[in-house]
């Protein structure tokens, strides 16, 4: 169903040819941040998952505070587990792979701001 979108997305990010062939799909950028591309009820969701240090309430509260209203950026949601922080963005596959690539960059920028990198 998403074959062409996945192929274009892989090319846009410079991933190995044909790497994005099935969902869910995980990939790592810059050897530091892990992403998952998965299907949900509304289409495709891009998820950045990163380690969350113990007692990182300040980082988590900061993530919740900026979720959904970035200046000119993608609207995203925040989730967390015991040791993981999740930044999620719902993709519009009709908009194309360039929007998905832009969402990756936005989530990376947000993560860098949250982690103080």
- The pLDDT, as a whole number, for residue 17 is 53
Q: Which residue ranges make up each domain of the chain?
A: 3-115
Q: Could you please report the per-residue DSSP string of 14-38?
A: TPPTT---SSSEEEEETTTEEEEEE
Q: Work out whether the CA dihedral 16, 20, 25, 29 comes out positive or negative.
A: positive
pLDDT in tens, the chain (117 residues): 677 888 888 888 887 655 556 778 888 887 888 998 888 888 888 999 888 777 667 777 777 776 655 444 456 777 777 788 888 888 877 878 888 888 888 888 888 887 775
- The pLDDT, as a whole number, for residue 70 is 47
pTM listed for this prediction? 0.76
Q: Which two tokens stand for residue 11?
A: 């090319």
The hierarchical CATH code for the domain 3-115 is 3.30.1460.10
Give the C-alpha separation, 93 to 37, whole Å.
Answer: 12
């Amino acid at each position: 169903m998403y074959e062409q979108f996945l192929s274009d997305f892989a090319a846009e990010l410079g991933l190995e040819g044909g790497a994005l062939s099935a969902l869910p799909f995980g990939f790592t950028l810059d050897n530091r941040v892990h992403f998952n591309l998965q299907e949900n009820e509304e289409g495709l969701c891009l998820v950045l998952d990163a380690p969350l240090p113990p007692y990182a309430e300040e980082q988590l509260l900061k993530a919740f505070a900026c979720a959904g209203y970035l200046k000119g950026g993608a609207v995203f949601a925040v989730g967390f587990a015991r040791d993981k922080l999740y930044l999620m963005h719902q993709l519009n596959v009709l908009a194309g792979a360039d929007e998905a690539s832009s969402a990756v960059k936005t989530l990376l920028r947000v993560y860098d701001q949250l982690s103080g990198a």
